[in-house]
A = this chain, B = another copy of it.
Amino acid sequence: MDESARLMAVLRPVRAGNAFEETVERLLQAIRLGVVAPGQKLPAERELAVQLGISRVTLREAIRALQDAGYLAVRRGRYGGAFVTYVPPVPGATDLRQVVADMGAADLADALTFRMAVECGAAQVLAATELTAEQRATLHRGLSDLDEASLADYRRLDTAFHLSIAELTGSGLLAAAVADARLRVSDLLDAIPMLQVNLDHSAAQHRAMVTAILAGDPDAARRAVAEHLEGTAALLRGFLS
């Protein structure tokens, strides 16, 4: 890795796009990751604009774009708001090869590697932490929510479970990194059919992750997450070959 490559990495673009584009991306992240579930509404425009650090005009442009794209339905008046109408595509319905072609092979490898590093890191840090009763309960709740989940809710709750591990470390930076990593593979996951075998495997691996974290064993936690994510990567390779 020579000096010029490092220069390129550090002196990368300051902005991913204009405020409008970045806002659309951020809202899409909230919707597609299921942070705001279908039927729920986004915070009020004035409040949301403050949270996102942009003007209400720009926020409204982004909301309008998502409305036109069919992700949101906006209702006026008290108790109105921007309601999520997006329902995740049926897994397996989209063409994985097309998705991969759209994002590029290099980006695909980058995203998978990034996710592996950052999620393993989060689990390992959490395993090395003294957990409160409440934190343990959150992990257990994540597991049981997933066990009882309908197929329609599964991806959303899976995302929530993975995110909660990062959030429980107390590091906002880490939580943001995990959310980012998840979003980057979101299209891929949506293109994989959900088979009962795979769901059973995932459930067992999720339990292994929680067990290792609660046992305070960072190595085991790291290994459990790595195995889980490697399983997903293997599935992808399988559908691609």
Please give the residue numbers on chain A whose beta carbons come within 8 Å of chain B beta carbons, in ascending order.
1, 3, 5-15, 19, 22-23, 26, 29-30, 33, 35-36, 43, 48, 51-54, 109-111, 113-114, 116-122, 124-125, 128, 138, 160, 163-164, 167-177, 179-181, 184, 218-219, 222-223, 226
Contact B120 A226 (CB under 8 A): no
CB < 8 Å: which of B30, B181, B184, B223 contacts A11? B30
Q: List 14 A-B contacts (CB under 8 A).
A: A10-B35, A11-B51, A14-B54, A109-B170, A110-B174, A113-B171, A113-B174, A120-B124, A121-B124, A128-B226, A173-B180, A218-B223, A219-B219, A222-B222
What is the minimal beta-carbon distance from A40 to any residue of chain B, in angstroms? 9
CB < 8 Å: which of B14, B138, B171 contacts A109? B171
Contact B7 A15 (CB under 8 A): no
What is the minimal beta-carbon distance from A46 to any residue of chain B, in angstroms? 14
CB < 8 Å: which of B8, B164, B170 contacts A113? B170
In the complex, given contacts A113-B169, A118-B121, what are 4 additional A-B residue pairs having Cβ atoms less than 8 angstroms apart? A114-B177, A119-B121, A128-B226, A218-B226
What is the minimal beta-carbon distance from A13 to any residue of chain B, in angstroms? 3
Residues of chain B with a CB closer than 8 A to A180's CB: 173
